[in-house]
Amino acid sequence: MTEARPDALPDALPRPNRRGRPPKGAAQLSRESIVEATLRVVDAEGVSAVGMRSVARSLGVDAKSLYNHVEGKDGLLDALAEHILGGLALPEPTGDVRRDLHAIARAFRDRALRHPEAASLVLTRQLASFEGLAPVATVLRVLRGAGCPTGEAVHLLRVLLATLIGTLLRELSAGTAFGVGDNAGIAARQEALERSGFPVLAEVAPHLARFDREAEFTYAVSFAIDAVVTRVQASNPR
Protein backbone atom coordinates (compact mmCIF):
# COMPACT_ATOMS: atom_id res chain seq x y z
CA MET A 1 0.00 0.00 0.00
CA THR A 2 2.84 2.34 0.74
CA GLU A 3 4.08 1.29 -2.68
CA ALA A 4 1.06 2.71 -4.44
CA ARG A 5 1.85 5.42 -6.93
CA PRO A 6 -1.26 7.59 -7.23
CA ASP A 7 -1.92 8.73 -10.78
CA ALA A 8 -2.10 12.27 -9.49
CA LEU A 9 1.66 12.23 -9.02
CA PRO A 10 3.76 14.10 -11.52
CA ASP A 11 5.68 12.23 -14.18
CA ALA A 12 8.70 10.56 -12.69
CA LEU A 13 10.96 11.52 -15.58
CA PRO A 14 12.57 14.91 -15.79
CA ARG A 15 10.89 17.30 -18.13
CA PRO A 16 12.93 19.86 -20.02
CA ASN A 17 12.51 23.63 -20.13
CA ARG A 18 11.70 23.76 -16.45
CA ARG A 19 12.32 27.14 -14.84
CA GLY A 20 10.56 29.89 -12.99
CA ARG A 21 7.54 28.74 -11.00
CA PRO A 22 5.54 25.50 -11.35
CA PRO A 23 4.09 25.29 -14.89
CA LYS A 24 0.35 25.40 -14.26
CA GLY A 25 -1.17 22.38 -12.56
CA ALA A 26 2.15 20.64 -12.16
CA ALA A 27 4.19 19.06 -9.41
CA GLN A 28 2.52 19.86 -6.08
CA LEU A 29 5.55 18.76 -4.16
CA SER A 30 4.96 17.03 -0.85
CA ARG A 31 6.93 15.13 1.70
CA GLU A 32 5.28 11.92 0.63
CA SER A 33 5.85 12.36 -3.07
CA ILE A 34 9.49 13.19 -2.35
CA VAL A 35 9.97 10.05 -0.28
CA GLU A 36 8.32 7.95 -2.96
CA ALA A 37 10.56 9.45 -5.62
CA THR A 38 13.55 8.67 -3.42
CA LEU A 39 12.44 5.07 -3.12
CA ARG A 40 12.20 4.85 -6.89
CA VAL A 41 15.75 6.15 -7.22
CA VAL A 42 17.00 3.67 -4.64
CA ASP A 43 15.24 0.73 -6.25
CA ALA A 44 16.59 1.63 -9.67
CA GLU A 45 20.11 2.81 -8.93
CA GLY A 46 20.90 2.04 -5.31
CA VAL A 47 21.17 4.20 -2.24
CA SER A 48 24.43 5.76 -3.41
CA ALA A 49 22.51 7.36 -6.27
CA VAL A 50 20.29 9.28 -3.87
CA GLY A 51 21.00 12.98 -3.74
CA MET A 52 19.03 16.14 -3.34
CA ARG A 53 19.73 16.86 -6.97
CA SER A 54 18.90 13.42 -8.38
CA VAL A 55 15.67 13.08 -6.44
CA ALA A 56 14.60 16.58 -7.38
CA ARG A 57 15.43 15.92 -11.03
CA SER A 58 13.23 12.84 -11.04
CA LEU A 59 10.40 15.09 -9.88
CA GLY A 60 11.11 17.82 -12.40
CA VAL A 61 11.96 20.26 -9.64
CA ASP A 62 14.93 22.15 -8.27
CA ALA A 63 16.97 20.44 -5.55
CA LYS A 64 16.56 23.30 -3.14
CA SER A 65 12.81 22.91 -3.20
CA LEU A 66 13.09 19.69 -1.23
CA TYR A 67 14.26 21.65 1.79
CA ASN A 68 10.73 22.92 2.22
CA HIS A 69 9.54 19.42 3.04
CA VAL A 70 12.47 17.46 4.35
CA GLU A 71 15.36 18.05 6.74
CA GLY A 72 18.24 17.78 4.33
CA LYS A 73 19.62 14.63 2.81
CA ASP A 74 19.95 12.87 6.13
CA GLY A 75 16.35 13.64 7.01
CA LEU A 76 15.33 12.35 3.61
CA LEU A 77 17.02 8.99 4.20
CA ASP A 78 15.50 8.75 7.66
CA ALA A 79 12.11 9.47 6.16
CA LEU A 80 12.64 6.75 3.57
CA ALA A 81 13.56 4.17 6.19
CA GLU A 82 10.51 5.12 8.23
CA HIS A 83 8.31 4.98 5.16
CA ILE A 84 9.38 1.45 4.37
CA LEU A 85 9.10 0.26 7.94
CA GLY A 86 5.73 1.97 8.16
CA GLY A 87 4.43 -0.48 5.57
CA LEU A 88 5.11 -3.42 7.84
CA ALA A 89 1.96 -5.51 8.21
CA LEU A 90 2.15 -7.15 11.62
CA PRO A 91 0.25 -10.38 12.20
CA GLU A 92 -2.25 -10.46 15.05
CA PRO A 93 -0.96 -12.58 17.95
CA THR A 94 -2.73 -15.92 18.33
CA GLY A 95 -1.48 -16.89 21.77
CA ASP A 96 1.03 -19.44 20.49
CA VAL A 97 4.31 -17.73 21.45
CA ARG A 98 6.55 -19.62 19.11
CA ARG A 99 4.29 -19.25 16.12
CA ASP A 100 3.60 -15.59 16.84
CA LEU A 101 7.25 -14.63 17.14
CA HIS A 102 8.05 -16.49 13.96
CA ALA A 103 5.31 -14.65 12.12
CA ILE A 104 6.58 -11.29 13.34
CA ALA A 105 10.15 -12.06 12.31
CA ARG A 106 9.01 -13.24 8.92
CA ALA A 107 6.90 -10.15 8.34
CA PHE A 108 9.79 -7.92 9.34
CA ARG A 109 12.16 -9.69 6.98
CA ASP A 110 9.71 -9.52 4.09
CA ARG A 111 9.29 -5.84 4.63
CA ALA A 112 12.97 -5.02 5.10
CA LEU A 113 14.10 -7.02 2.08
CA ARG A 114 11.31 -5.94 -0.22
CA HIS A 115 13.51 -3.07 -1.32
CA PRO A 116 16.92 -4.71 -1.14
CA GLU A 117 18.84 -1.57 -2.01
CA ALA A 118 17.16 0.25 0.84
CA ALA A 119 17.33 -2.58 3.34
CA SER A 120 20.50 -1.46 5.06
CA LEU A 121 18.87 1.90 5.71
CA VAL A 122 15.90 0.26 7.37
CA LEU A 123 18.07 -2.06 9.45
CA THR A 124 20.50 0.56 10.67
CA ARG A 125 18.44 3.76 10.90
CA GLN A 126 15.08 2.65 12.21
CA LEU A 127 16.23 2.20 15.74
CA ALA A 128 14.75 5.34 17.24
CA SER A 129 11.86 6.16 14.94
CA PHE A 130 8.21 6.02 15.85
CA GLU A 131 7.63 3.52 13.05
CA GLY A 132 9.83 1.10 14.97
CA LEU A 133 7.43 1.07 17.90
CA ALA A 134 4.75 -1.09 16.31
CA PRO A 135 6.88 -4.24 15.96
CA VAL A 136 8.34 -3.59 19.40
CA ALA A 137 4.89 -3.37 20.91
CA THR A 138 3.72 -6.52 19.17
CA VAL A 139 6.66 -8.59 20.40
CA LEU A 140 6.11 -7.28 23.90
CA ARG A 141 2.42 -8.16 23.78
CA VAL A 142 3.32 -11.72 22.88
CA LEU A 143 5.88 -12.03 25.65
CA ARG A 144 3.68 -10.40 28.27
CA GLY A 145 0.76 -12.51 27.16
CA ALA A 146 2.84 -15.58 27.90
CA GLY A 147 3.35 -14.40 31.45
CA CYS A 148 6.80 -12.89 31.05
CA PRO A 149 7.60 -10.17 33.64
CA THR A 150 8.16 -6.65 32.28
CA GLY A 151 11.92 -6.45 32.82
CA GLU A 152 12.58 -9.84 31.31
CA ALA A 153 10.27 -9.07 28.39
CA VAL A 154 12.29 -5.98 27.47
CA HIS A 155 15.53 -7.92 27.66
CA LEU A 156 14.19 -10.71 25.50
CA LEU A 157 12.77 -8.23 23.01
CA ARG A 158 16.16 -6.61 22.65
CA VAL A 159 18.12 -9.79 22.17
CA LEU A 160 15.53 -11.07 19.71
CA LEU A 161 15.68 -7.89 17.67
CA ALA A 162 19.48 -7.89 17.75
CA THR A 163 19.59 -11.41 16.39
CA LEU A 164 17.05 -10.60 13.72
CA ILE A 165 18.84 -7.45 12.57
CA GLY A 166 22.26 -9.07 12.70
CA THR A 167 20.97 -11.99 10.67
CA LEU A 168 19.36 -9.78 8.05
CA LEU A 169 22.49 -7.65 7.74
CA ARG A 170 24.51 -10.76 7.11
CA GLU A 171 21.99 -12.01 4.58
CA LEU A 172 22.26 -8.68 2.83
CA SER A 173 26.02 -8.59 2.70
CA ALA A 174 26.22 -12.24 1.74
CA GLY A 175 24.04 -11.44 -1.22
CA THR A 176 26.28 -8.66 -2.47
CA ALA A 177 29.70 -9.96 -1.43
CA PHE A 178 29.50 -13.20 -3.36
CA GLY A 179 26.91 -14.59 -5.68
CA VAL A 180 25.20 -16.67 -3.04
CA GLY A 181 24.19 -19.56 -5.19
CA ASP A 182 26.81 -19.86 -7.87
CA ASN A 183 28.87 -23.01 -7.76
CA ALA A 184 32.09 -21.54 -9.07
CA GLY A 185 32.06 -18.95 -6.30
CA ILE A 186 31.39 -21.58 -3.66
CA ALA A 187 34.28 -23.68 -4.90
CA ALA A 188 36.61 -20.69 -4.93
CA ARG A 189 35.67 -19.67 -1.39
CA GLN A 190 36.03 -23.22 -0.17
CA GLU A 191 39.51 -23.41 -1.61
CA ALA A 192 40.46 -20.06 -0.10
CA LEU A 193 39.31 -21.27 3.30
CA GLU A 194 41.37 -24.43 2.95
CA ARG A 195 44.44 -22.35 2.26
CA SER A 196 43.67 -19.85 5.02
CA GLY A 197 46.14 -21.30 7.47
CA PHE A 198 43.41 -21.99 10.04
CA PRO A 199 42.98 -25.77 10.15
CA VAL A 200 39.49 -25.47 11.59
CA LEU A 201 38.42 -23.35 8.62
CA ALA A 202 39.63 -26.02 6.22
CA GLU A 203 37.67 -28.53 8.23
CA VAL A 204 34.37 -26.68 7.94
CA ALA A 205 35.04 -25.08 4.56
CA PRO A 206 32.21 -26.83 2.69
CA HIS A 207 29.69 -25.37 5.12
CA LEU A 208 31.31 -21.98 5.57
CA ALA A 209 31.61 -21.37 1.84
CA ARG A 210 27.88 -21.82 1.37
CA PHE A 211 25.08 -19.50 2.36
CA ASP A 212 21.44 -20.49 1.85
CA ARG A 213 19.52 -17.37 2.75
CA GLU A 214 16.24 -19.04 3.54
CA ALA A 215 17.83 -21.83 5.57
CA GLU A 216 20.08 -19.44 7.49
CA PHE A 217 17.19 -17.19 8.36
CA THR A 218 15.04 -20.05 9.54
CA TYR A 219 17.83 -21.51 11.61
CA ALA A 220 18.74 -18.24 13.31
CA VAL A 221 15.16 -17.24 14.08
CA SER A 222 14.20 -20.69 15.33
CA PHE A 223 17.28 -20.78 17.48
CA ALA A 224 16.56 -17.44 19.09
CA ILE A 225 12.85 -18.10 19.54
CA ASP A 226 13.45 -21.51 21.08
CA ALA A 227 15.76 -19.88 23.59
CA VAL A 228 13.21 -17.17 24.30
CA VAL A 229 10.47 -19.70 24.87
CA THR A 230 12.69 -21.55 27.31
CA ARG A 231 13.33 -18.34 29.23
CA VAL A 232 9.70 -17.38 29.28
CA GLN A 233 8.76 -20.75 30.75
CA ALA A 234 11.52 -20.45 33.32
CA SER A 235 10.44 -16.96 34.37
CA ASN A 236 6.80 -18.02 34.56
CA PRO A 237 6.17 -20.25 37.60
CA ARG A 238 2.80 -21.49 36.34
Partner DNA sequence: ACCTGAACACCGTTCAAGT
- Site residues (vs its own copies, CB under 8 A): 120, 124, 127-128, 133-134, 136-137, 140-141, 144, 150-151, 153-156, 158-159, 161-167, 169-170, 173-174, 177-178, 196, 198, 200-201, 203-204, 206-208, 216, 219-220, 223-224, 226-227, 230-231
Instruction: Report what 68 binds from DNA, its own copies, none; CB cut-off 5-8 Å by kind.
Output: DNA
Tell me if residue 48 falls in helix, strand or coil: helix
Q: What letter would DSSP give residue 92?
A: P
Instruction: Report what 166 binds from DNA, its own copies, none; CB cut-off 5-8 Å by kind.
Output: its own copies
Instruction: Select 65 or 218, whichever has its Cβ closest to its own copies.
Output: 218
Instruction: Select 111 or 211, whichever has its Cβ closest to its own copies.
Output: 211
With CB under 7 A, what is the number of residues at the site for DNA?
A: 24
Tell me if residue 125 falls in helix, strand or coil: helix
Q: Mind giving me the DSSP string for 173-211?
A: HHHHHS-SS-HHHHHHHHHHHHTSS-HHHHHHHHHHT--
Q: Where are the beta strands (DSSP E) in 72-192?
A: none
Q: Helices 97-114 and 133-145: crossing angle, nearest 10°?
A: 170
Give the CA distances from residue 41 to residues 7, 27, 56, 119, 207, in Å, rounded to whole numbers and listed in that order.
Answer: 18, 17, 10, 14, 37
Q: Interface residues for DNA in 67-126 (CB under 7 A)?
A: 67-69, 72-74
CA dihedral over 168, 169, 175, 178, signed as positive or negative: negative
State the nearest-atom distance from the C-beta of 134 to DNA, in Å: 28
Contact between 52 and 73 (Cβ < 8 Å)? yes
Q: What is the largest CA-CA distance in the chain?
A: 73
Instruction: Select 3 or 74, whichever has its Cβ closest to its own copies.
Output: 74
State the nearest-atom distance from the C-beta of 111 to its own copies, in Å: 17
Instruction: Report what 234 binds from DNA, its own copies, none; CB cut-off 5-8 Å by kind.
Output: none
> Whole-angstrom Cα distance, residue 146 to residue 157?
13
Torsion angles phi and psi, residue 208, rounded to 5: -70, -25
Q: Interface residues for DNA in 10-69 (CB under 7 A)?
A: 18-22, 27-29, 50-54, 61-65, 67-69
Instruction: Select 78 or 171, whichever has its Cβ closest to DNA.
Output: 78
State the nearest-atom distance from the C-beta of 94 to its own copies, in Å: 16
Query: What is the contact surface with DNA in residues (CB under 7 A)?
Result: 18-22, 27-29, 50-54, 61-65, 67-69, 72-74
